[in-house]
Amino acid sequence: MIDEPFASGGSFLHRADPRAKLAAAAALSCILAASPTPAAPALALLSGLGLAAWAGLPLGALARRLLTVNVFVAFLWLFLPFSTPGEAVWRLGPLAATDRGLALCLLISLKTNAIMLHFLALIATSDAASLGQAMHRLRVPEKLVFLFLFTYRFINVIHGEHQRLMTAARLRGFVPRTSLHTYRTLASLLALVLLSAMRRAEMTRRAMLLRCFAGRFTTLRRFRMGRGEYALLGLLAVFAACLVALEVLHV
């Protein structure tokens, strides 16, 4: 269910310490999200493309991910220009698209894609298991870290259970239609998946007790910050400072 099309690769961004990448991506997205003008996000869009190219992300998968996000952005373009107050620049019947509405849409589109590209190049290039451990090393609260790791571990198991139930239903001639019978069947399958997830949660608790879990998590992996990581962090810090300057100066 979760395939990680970007996690395997041989680039420096794939090999780099995930702590550095996490910290950089988090800082950059906060800065970009707060930007009031399109200049900083536009610049970051370019740097995001640059990083994605450096990581050698597979183009097909990259395009699919960006398309998914931009479907949501498209809805904003559909409504925001007409609902934001401002000077009308274009009319469609009784509706008027305003300059401020269009500018807002552009700003959101740039921010979304810039942040997405940075995440894909910096974060998606590590597998979920390393990211969890890196979060633990960065002192993200334990409960969040292990919720993340357990979700990753069990979402495939739960998805497998759902698939088995769907197969069982199909084997007995079930074809989804727009009918009450379909809704009833799907509701029942969903209930079974939820029940088995609850059972699994209980079994997981027991399995942890059996292995003497006493409330404290420790993770195994030790990461190493090399010269390359410091260089990357330094470069991105300078870039982040430029973005902040752009935002503060309202260019």
Partner 1 sequence: MSEAPILELRQVSFAYPLASAPVLAAVDLTLSPGQRLGLFGPNGCGKTTLLSVMTGLRPANAGEILHRGRPVRSEADFGLLRRELGLLLQNADDQILFPTVLDDVAFGPLNLGLAPAEAEAEARRALDFVGLDGFEERLAHKLSGGEKKLVTLAGVLAMRPKALLLDEPTAGLDPATRDRLAHILGHIDAAVLTVSHDWDFLNLVATDFFTIEHGRLVREAASQLHWHAHAHPHPEQPH
Q: Which residues bind partner 1 (CB under 8 A)?
A: 127-129, 132-133, 149-150, 152-153, 156-157, 200, 203-204, 206-214, 218-222
Cα(208)–Cα(221) distance, integer angstroms = 20
Give least dist CB 210 to partner 1, A: 5
Q: Tell which residue, 11, 25, 51, 20, has the closest CA to residue 223.
A: 20
Nearer to partner 1, 170 or 199 (CB): 199
Nearer Cβ to partner 1, position 194 or 231?
194
Q: Least CB distance from residue 52 to partner 1, whole Å?
A: 24
Compare residues 40 and 131 and give the one whose CB is closer to partner 1: 131
Q: How far is the CB of 59 from partner 1 (least distance, A)?
A: 25
Dihedral of CA 69/70/74/80: which sign? Answer: positive
Alpha helices in 5-141 (DSSP H): 12-15, 18-33, 39-55, 59-83, 99-122, 128-137
Nearest to 37 by CA among 244, 242, 251: 251
Which residue is listed with tokens 């029942």?
Answer: 188
Closest approach, Cβ 4 to partner 1, in A, equals 9
- Decide whether 88 or 168 has the Cβ nearer to partner 1: 168
